[in-house]
Structure 1
Amino acid sequence: MPSSHAQTPRTAGRRLWTAAPLGVSSALLAFLALGLILWGANVLYQEREQRQRHQIERELQAISQLQARSVADWRDRRMSDAMALSDDSLLAHAVAAWLASPGSAPSADIVARLRILQERARYTAVYLVDTQGMLRLTPADSVQGRLPDPELLALHSALAQAQPVMLEPRQSNFFAFPFSGLMVPIFDGIEPLGAIWLVSDVRTSLYPLLELWPTPSRSAESAIVQRDGNEVRFVSPLRHYNNAPQSLRLPISHSEDPAVQAVTGVRGIIYGRDYRGEEVLAMVSAVPDSPWFMVSKIDVAEAFTDMRVREWLALSLPISLGLLIAGSFAVFWQRRAWQRERALKTDLQRNMRWLESAQKAAEVGYFSYDATQHSFFMSGMACTIFGLSLGSAMSRRQWIGLIHPDDRKKTLEEHARAMTERTGLRTQYRIRRASDRHVRWVQVWAEYESDAGQKPVARMTGTVQDVTERRQGEEKLATYRAALEAQVRQDPLTHIANRLALDEAVAMEWNRALRSGAPLSLLMIDVDHFKAYNDHYGHVAGDLCLQRVAQALSQSIGRVGDLVARYGGEEFAVLLPDTDGTQATAIGQRLCDAVRAMNIEHLAAQGRPQVTVSIGSASALPAFTAVPGMPHTSHPASARDAARHLFEQADAALYRAKQSGRDQVASFEPNGLQAPAPAPG
Structure 2
Amino acid sequence: MRKLYQGWGPWVLLLVLLLGLSLGGRHLYLAWLRYNLTQAQTQLLSSAHSKAEQIAAWRQERLGDAEVLAQNPLLAKHLGEWMADGRQSELPTSIGKHLDALLSRYGYISATVIDADGRPRRALGETRLRPALDDLEKAHMNEAWRTRRAILSELHDDTRGYPHLHLLAPLFDGDRPVGAILLLIRASDALYPLIQSLPLPTRTAEAFLVRREGDRAVLISDLRHQAQAAFKIENPLSDTQLPSVRAALGQTGVIEGNDYRGVAVSVAAQPIKGTAWTLIVKQDTEELLAPARRQAWLLGGWLLTLLGLLATGLGFLSLRSRRRHERLMRDAEAAERTSLRQFQNLFEQAQDGILLMNTDHQFLDANPAALSLLRLDLDELRRLRLPDILAPEEHPRLESAVSTMMGGQPHHQPWIHVRRDGSRFAADVTAKPLSDTTYFATLRDVTEQQRLRRQEDIHAKILELLAHDAPLPDILDTIAREVEHAHPGMLCGILLLDDSGTRLIDGAGPSLPDFYNQAV
In structure 2, runs of 5+ residues without a counterpart are 354-389, 396-422, 428-445, 470-474, 485-491, 498-503, 505-520
Matched with 2:315 is 349
Q: Aligned in 2, Cα 1:204/1:275: closer, same or farther, shift over 3 Å? A: same
* Mapping for residues 372-391 of structure 1, pairs under 5 Å: 382=330
Matched with 1:258 is 243
In structure 2, C-alpha distance between the alignment counterparts of 1:483 and 1:177, rounded to whole Å: 40
Q: Aligned in 2, Cα 1:515/1:669: closer, same or farther, shift over 3 Å? A: farther
- For the pair 1:157 / 2:143, whether they are aligned, the reply is yes
Q: Which of 56, 71, 79 lines up with 1:72 in the alignment?
A: 56
What SS does structure 2 have at the residue aligned with 1:199?
Answer: strand
- For the pair 1:233 / 2:222, whether they are aligned, the reply is no
Matched with 1:364 is 328
Q: Contact conserved, 1:111 with 1:138, CA < 8 A, in 2?
A: no
Q: Which of 170, 183, 189 lines up with 1:204 in the alignment?
A: 189
Once the two structures are superposed, what CA deviation does each residue of 1:89-137 show, in whole Å capped at 9, x if it has no partner? Answer: 2222223223333233544443344334323433221111124432112
Q: Contact conserved, 2:220 with 2:230, CA < 8 A, in 1?
A: yes
Q: Contact conserved, 1:167 with 1:180, CA < 8 A, in 2?
A: yes
In structure 1, runs of 5+ residues without a counterpart are 1-15, 329-345, 366-381, 386-441, 444-464, 486-511, 518-558, 564-572, 580-617, 619-642, 660-664
Once the two structures are superposed, what CA deviation does each residue of 1:241-279 show, in whole Å capped at 9, x if it has no partner? Answer: 234433222221221222222222211122111111111
Q: Which of 291, 303, 326 lines up with 2:276 in the alignment?
A: 291
- For the pair 1:103 / 2:69, whether they are aligned, the reply is no
Structure 1 counterpart of 2:193, which letter?
A: P
Report the number of matched residues. Answer: 403
Matched with 1:378 is none
What SS does structure 2 have at the residue aligned with 1:41?
Answer: helix
Structure 2 counterpart of 1:123, which letter?
A: Y
What is the CA distance between 1:76 and its match in structure 2? 0.8
In structure 2, C-alpha distance between the alignment counterparts of 1:484 and 1:298, rounded to whole Å: 31
Matched with 2:232 is 247
Matched with 1:126 is 111
In structure 2, C-alpha distance between the alignment counterparts of 1:145 and 1:667, rounded to whole Å: 48
Once the two structures are superposed, what CA deviation does each residue of 1:57-79 show, in whole Å capped at 9, x if it has no partner? Answer: 23322322222222111101011
In structure 2, C-alpha distance between the alignment counterparts of 1:172 and 1:359, rounded to whole Å: 67
Q: Which of 45, 48, 51 lines up with 1:61 in the alignment?
A: 45
In structure 1, C-alpha distance between the alignment counterparts of 2:158 and 2:85, rounded to whole Å: 34
Q: Contact conserved, 2:169 with 2:181, CA < 8 A, in 1?
A: yes
Q: Aligned in 2, Cα 1:651/1:111: closer, same or farther, shift over 3 Å? A: same
Structure 1 counterpart of 2:107, which letter?
A: R
What SS does structure 1 have at the residue aligned with 2:458?
Answer: helix
Matched with 1:137 is 122
Matched with 2:74 is 90
Once the two structures are superposed, what CA deviation does each residue of 1:152-193 show, in whole Å capped at 9, x if it has no partner? Answer: 22222322333222112333564x653221122222222222
- For the pair 1:310 / 2:304, whether they are aligned, the reply is no
Q: Which of 154, 162, 168 lines up with 1:168 in the alignment?
A: 154
Q: Which of 207, 213, 218 lines up with 2:203 in the alignment?
A: 218
Q: Contact conserved, 2:154 with 2:275, CA < 8 A, in 1?
A: no
What is the CA distance between 1:201 and its match in structure 2? 2.3
Structure 2 counterpart of 1:349, which letter?
A: G
Matched with 1:649 is 458
Q: Aligned in 2, Cα 1:19/1:31: closer, same or farther, shift over 3 Å? A: same
Q: Which of 19, 34, 37 lines up with 2:21 in the alignment?
A: 37
Q: Aligned in 2, Cα 1:29/1:351: closer, same or farther, shift over 3 Å? A: closer
Matched with 1:587 is none
Once the two structures are superposed, what CA deviation does each residue of 1:425-454 show, in whole Å capped at 9, x if it has no partner? Answer: xxxxxxxxxxxxxxxxx65xxxxxxxxxxx
Q: Which of 285, 289, 308 lines up with 1:300 in the alignment?
A: 285
Of 84-93 and 42-51, the range deviating more from structure 2: 42-51
In structure 2, C-alpha distance between the alignment counterparts of 1:247 and 1:320, rounded to whole Å: 54
What is the CA distance between 1:475 and its match in structure 2? 7.1
Of 185-194 and 273-282, the range deviating more from structure 2: 185-194
Higher gyration radius (CA): 1
Structure 2 counterpart of 1:242, which letter?
A: A
Q: Contact conserved, 1:654 with 1:666, CA < 8 A, in 2?
A: no
- For the pair 1:269 / 2:235, whether they are aligned, the reply is no
Structure 2 counterpart of 1:171, which letter?
A: D
In structure 1, C-alpha distance between the alignment counterparts of 2:262 and 2:352, rounded to whole Å: 33
Q: Aligned in 2, Cα 1:144/1:60: closer, same or farther, shift over 3 Å? A: closer
In structure 2, C-alpha distance between the alignment counterparts of 1:104 and 1:676, rounded to whole Å: 42
- For the pair 1:467 / 2:276, whether they are aligned, the reply is no
- For the pair 1:282 / 2:282, whether they are aligned, the reply is no
In structure 2, C-alpha distance between the alignment counterparts of 1:101 and 1:40, rounded to whole Å: 87
What is the CA distance between 1:41 and its match in structure 2? 2.7
Q: Which has the higher contact order (CA 8 A, sep 6+)?
A: 2
In structure 2, C-alpha distance between the alignment counterparts of 1:562 and 1:224, rounded to whole Å: 36
Report the RMSD for the aligned CA atoms in angstroms: 4.5
- For the pair 1:181 / 2:166, whether they are aligned, the reply is yes
Q: Contact conserved, 1:128 with 1:196, CA < 8 A, in 2?
A: yes
* Mapping for residues 398-547 of structure 1, pairs under 5 Å: 466-470=335-339, 515=393
What SS does structure 1 have at the residue aligned with 2:257?
Answer: strand
Once the two structures are superposed, what CA deviation does each residue of 1:527-574 show, in whole Å capped at 9, x if it has no partner? Answer: xxxxxxxxxxxxxxxxxxxxxxxxxxxxxxxx77489xxxxxxxxx98
In structure 2, C-alpha distance between the alignment counterparts of 1:651 and 1:574, rounded to whole Å: 20
In structure 2, C-alpha distance between the alignment counterparts of 1:676 and 1:147, rounded to whole Å: 51
